[in-house]
Amino acid sequence: MSENSDCPTPAFATAQVRSGFSAQTAPAAAVPPIYQSNAFEFESLTHAADLFAHRRDGDVYSRTANPTVTVFEQRLAALEGGSASAGLASGQAAVAVALLALAGRGGHIVAATQLYGGTVDLLEDTLPDWGITTTFVDQDDIDAWRAAVRPETRALFAETVANPVAQVLDVRAVAEIAHEAGVPLVVDNTVATPYLQRPKEFGADISVHSATKFIGGHGSVMGGAIVDLGTFDFTAQPAKWPALTEPSRRVPGESLVEHFASGSPFIALIKAKYMHDLGPTLSASSAFQLLQGLETLDLRMQRHSSSAQRVAEHLAAHPAVARVHHPGLAGNAGHAAAAEYLPRGVPSVFSIDLHATGDEAADFARVEAFIAGLRVVRLLANIGDARSIVTHPASMTHSHLSRSQLAEAGISTTTVRLSIGLEDPDDLIADLDRGLAAI
């Protein structure tokens, strides 16, 4: 399960096209094939028994391992500098399974208030059904992170770049608090992608992704991933992690940290227990499409980022726009953090606030007129597509949040989220001007 041996230390652009696959893996195929097979033949019964007992690596059944999915997992781990990764059916599955694996026995999570709406629903509504509770803190309030930690805390969780308002996480500071508490920092790196940020370099321990967004990049396939960045030592306080450190039914007589000492015990737990028992599998054909996306990740992110910067600068000077929440702008609260954590550019997902009238219905009507005036940018609940997208968080992606949660996340009725795609930026600017003129 190694790197491509032709190039043992690939740079980013090489890793995104080559890692996890060599033509020897599949005779003569230059592109990783879609292994559209649920199960895989064993050489012998002894071979089968060894695979079932995790005595050797290999593919048994595609719910937990499939060769096309494995290429995707190894490539993503390479891009993020991680030790191993698991591909899942969606980003939501990746977040849920990563947190279940850490906090699954009545644990506690400290999470940023600035999170994807689906993650807030998971933490507030579904994980409590399983006895897992969450304390939410403003991600910029470092003392609040520290104060929220309890003996039963098992993870700190935040997005490296949040949305809709594009707050940039101080990864180093939050990682330090996690490590003082003896727990990993888990980051959702969906919006930044491994191209704009490698969270491991700043102290994060585990990253999760919605590959549905920029990694796939074409708005056509759902997927997710969990990457073990290989930095967290689960043996330092073994009593905190019984699923990893006590004898496991998955490797009888041993613990996962013993059995998988040379690999990633955490990813082994994700696959052997959670993927195996709950079944949120990434399909081979989806993994294939995500690999097609990964191969151009750097080029697309450069274009997304530079176009969004131009659009943001244009909108900041537009009289119909009250505020632009883009950390690439000099006046933005996250501008210094962006220089530190996003040296290759700022993601293309950001928000603008239209001028508010003070009357909610009138404000909604202004947003409606703006969106109705757009011809190129389309109204969808998605980000990270080749197409530019407009979303109204208060009535769409974040509509399950309470009024105070909306305020804490920096969202008002006049907040409009943009995900700048790969169209010509001049066409996008003309279109947004057309929408603003329609208010």
Ligand X SMILES: *Cc1c(COP(=O)(O)O)cnc(C)c1O
- CA angle, 309 then 315 then 320, to 5°: 170
Among 76, 186, 222, 290, binds ligand X (CB under 6 A): 222
Residue (95 or 149) nearer to ligand X, CB: 95
Task: Please check whether residue 34 is in contact with residue 239, taking contact to mean a CB–CB distance below 8 angstroms.
Answer: no
Among 92, 207, 286, 415, binds ligand X (CB under 6 A): 92
Q: How far is the CB of 195 from ligand X (least distance, A)?
A: 16
Per-residue string for binding with ligand X, 8-47, x by CB under 6 A?
----------------------------------------
Q: How far is the CB of 223 from ligand X (least distance, A)?
A: 7
Residue (184 or 435) nearer to ligand X, CB: 184
Q: How far is the CB of 185 from ligand X (least distance, A)?
A: 16
Task: Please check whether residue 187 is in contact with residue 114, taking contact to mean a CB–CB distance below 8 angstroms.
Answer: no
Cα(62)–Cα(50) distance, integer angstroms = 17
Cα(306)–Cα(315) distance, integer angstroms = 14
Cα(251)–Cα(54) distance, integer angstroms = 7
**Cα–Cα distances in angstroms (integers) from residue 225 to residues 189, 193, 195, 302, in the given order:** 10, 12, 15, 22
Cα(239)–Cα(105) distance, integer angstroms = 12
The residue among 229, 196, 193 whose CA lies nearest residue 212 is 193
219 binds ligand X (CB under 6 A): no
# binding residues, ligand X (CB under 6 A): 17
213 binds ligand X (CB under 6 A): yes
Residue (73 or 363) nearer to ligand X, CB: 73
- Cα 328 to its chain centre, rounded Å, is 21
Q: Which stretch binds ligand X (CB under 6 A): 164-172, 187-195, 292-300, 406-414?
A: 187-195
Q: How far is the CB of 22 from ligand X (least distance, A)?
A: 29
The residue among 85, 88, 91 whose CA lies nearest residue 122 is 91
Residue (95 or 338) nearer to ligand X, CB: 95
Q: How far is the CB of 55 from ligand X (least distance, A)?
A: 34
Residue (210 or 283) nearer to ligand X, CB: 210
Q: Which residue is nearest to ligand X (CB)?
A: 91
Cα(251)–Cα(80) distance, integer angstroms = 28
Q: Which stretch binds ligand X (CB under 6 A): 72-80, 90-98, 105-113, 253-261?
A: 90-98
Q: How far is the CB of 161 from ligand X (least distance, A)?
A: 9
212 binds ligand X (CB under 6 A): yes
The identity of residue 404, as a single letter, is: S
Residue (112 or 436) nearer to ligand X, CB: 112
The b-or-e profile of 208-245 (16+ CB within 10 A means b, else e) is: bbbbbbbbbbebebbbbbbbbbbbbebeeeeebbebbb
Among 188, 205, 385, 431, binds ligand X (CB under 6 A): 188
Residue (118 or 219) nearer to ligand X, CB: 118
Cα(183)–Cα(193) distance, integer angstroms = 23
Of residues 346-385, those binding ligand X (CB under 6 A): 383
280 binds ligand X (CB under 6 A): no
Encoded tokens for 151? 């003996």
The residue among 119, 24, 116 whose CA lies nearest residue 71 is 24
Of residues 401-430, those binding ligand X (CB under 6 A): none
**Cα–Cα distances in angstroms (integers) from residue 13 to residues 98, 196, 298, in the given order:** 28, 13, 7
Per-residue string for binding with ligand X, 46-85, x by CB under 6 A?
----------------------------------------
Burial class (CB in 10 A: 0-12, 13-18, 19+), 121: middle
Q: How far is the CB of 211 from ligand X (least distance, A)?
A: 7
Per-residue string for binding with ligand X, 147-186, x by CB under 6 A?
------------x---------------------------
Among 118, 219, 247, 373, binds ligand X (CB under 6 A): 118
Task: Please check whether residue 113 is in contact with residue 254, taking contact to mean a CB–CB distance below 8 angstroms.
Answer: no
Q: List phi, psi (to 5°) of 307.
A: -65, -45
199 binds ligand X (CB under 6 A): no
Q: How far is the CB of 10 from ligand X (least distance, A)?
A: 27
What residue ranges bind ligand X (CB under 6 A)? Answer: 90-92, 95, 116, 118-119, 159, 188, 190-191, 210, 212-213, 222, 224, 383
